Structure 1
Amino acid sequence: MRGFFALVARMALFFATLKARIILFASLIIVGLATIFIVGVFQALVGSSDSTPEGEFDFASGGTQNLAPEVEELRPLFEKYADLHGIPDHVDLLMAKTMQESGGRLADVMQASESLGLPPNTIRDQEESIDVGTRYFAQVLEQANGDEKLALQAYNFGHGFIDYANEHNNGEYSKELAIDFSREQYQRVKDTGNYSCIRPESAETGACYGDIGYVDAVMSYMQPTLADGEFEEVIEVGAQWIGNSEYVFGGGRTRAEQEQGLFDCSSFVHWAYEQVGIELGHFTSVSTDTLKHKGQAVPVNEIQPGDLVFFDTYKLDGHVGIYVGDGQYIGAQSSTGVAIESMEDGFWGDVFNGRVRRI
């Protein structure tokens, strides 16, 4: 009988321990799910921008000074093979291409295997990938008569795109031409099941062959620069909209809206720089979050006219404008449209966060 009671006691202890473990496990699951939910809500709140969503596969939007460390470490190899293949002035462009292709995180960093007629990622050595990819880009650049954008898109589509451009657009690149080519090619190959729409605009246009946003994506990693005096032009062209524009959240992302002076803060900044030949990404997807990575960071005590300045409004870096000097900036504000405002006092002085980027 004594053994029976001992067995009962051990069983009671076992089930009590099991119950405690189950309760602990359930508690951990509940805490984990709650954490995931809170993080998701936080990201949704601070991750929104004052425009349309950004493109995919964006490792480090901005100029070449923001290359991933994995790519920057390969600069000597890019310099070596750019010189070997006769395009020494295109090192930064080759590295920007690599950011878009792999971010430096694959053995075939330039995704060059297919240029040899091999399956993707057949090349297993980074130096070989740079050698092959640079040689191929040099070839398409020559076929494109030095048109960098045409050569970039041909690197993605294949050199047949250059023939298409020669036939349909006097040998010049345009985004519309890339869409037309992609749409036509996709109709020929869609039944193979090897192609899919990798961007929302691809699905909307039926242009699902290759990447119609490839040029914009690569160029977003290039460091734009302003020549002497050009910052004054940026300010001057922007000033034409003072008292003659309207703030529209998400506006300024069609040419028709731009012609009417319908902007939000980031589209206005993009438009002003575009007028002097500086591309800050594609105008349809510009946002404060893309602009805050452009150019290079500058201490606020070294600010100069033409620099981008940022403000914490409905979120961190929720507003952007262009510094004009004397503690003032020009930007598209919801209350005024395009106007010049003080950064040193009043509302904008209170929300200026000290972030300055020099293009």
Structure 2
Amino acid sequence: MTNAPPLSPMAQAFAKGPGWFPQQMDAATDRVLLVRMTEESYREASFLDQRMLSQQSQPQWADWAELETADQTSRSDADFIFHIGHVGSTLISRLLGELDGVFALREPQILRNFADLATDRNAPHAIWSPVQFDQRLETVIRWLSRGFTPQDRAQIKASSFVSEIAAPIIGDQRKALLLSVSPKRYLATILAGENSRQELAMLAPTRLKRLHQRLGGEDWNLWELDEPVRAAMSWLCEILALEDARKIAPDDHILWVDFDAFLAEPSEQLTDIARFFGYPHDADTIAGLTSGPLMTRYSKAPDHDYSPDLREKLLAEAHGTHQDGIDKALTWLNDTASRYPKVAEALANHSGT
């Protein structure tokens, strides 16, 4: 019998914990990109994607099979934040990350890799079989569940389009916070900013593909949808993904929060979220967080000011500029709801204000 080759120093270092982070994978070559991380670098990072890469992070590729062999951690108890995009998920992740024992990770790119593969999960040309896809997703969740101490509990804030795989990630064991806003507020939010509009243009093709798959038809051509309707389509795509996750998860494993409701009562809402996940907290800590600097900074780029009042001003300006387009997009949503019961249900659940 041939002995297995010894593990590389990198694989051995990876097995020790989150000091080496599995930032992304290359499914075609079966490799994982590892980057060097400290507790402080995790705390500071708004995105664990390509924007974090630098010489200091010492990126190195490693074989998937070797990492899987090296790391035998049994933890897979990470908590999750799923959302539809631009609904305060980074802010809430940062607030929760200040609580004792909460190890916050924001937008790991490796989960995006799985979301991209999921659209072809059952196709003949898929790289992995459906069984292997599920097994490898569980492996990644184990990797992301590791903390620097046994008391750490990983809190993973996914990218918006990772909602496509929210259902298998949550399953019947993990807990997840689901964040949304009403269609009207979402449309104004997207149309209010240049960056969000660019992101809308980039993600619209994939979101329409996902929406068609979820509804079982091909009702729309992307080139016929103008920008506000594309935003409405994006809201619908991500809401339906989260609704599907909600329907299969145990009721006590899902907490749905409207971001506008959160901003109206941040202390009460943050207390409810911490209690839902079982995170240690007290009234003074919660009050300090929700009256502190995190609430007045742009969470994705903390060097910039961004308060609830400024948000309301920008949304009001967007309504003034884009009201006709917003009205057209809401009509598109209502027309779609008249043909698809699951869309009507989602609109009823998230009509908001």
Taking structure 2 as the reference length, what is the TM-score of the superposition? 0.22
Q: Give the structure, 1 or 2, with the largest relative contact order (CA under 8 Å, sep 6 or more).
A: 2
Q: Who wins on radius of gyration, i.e. which is larger?
A: 1
Taking structure 1 as the reference length, what is the TM-score of the superposition? 0.22
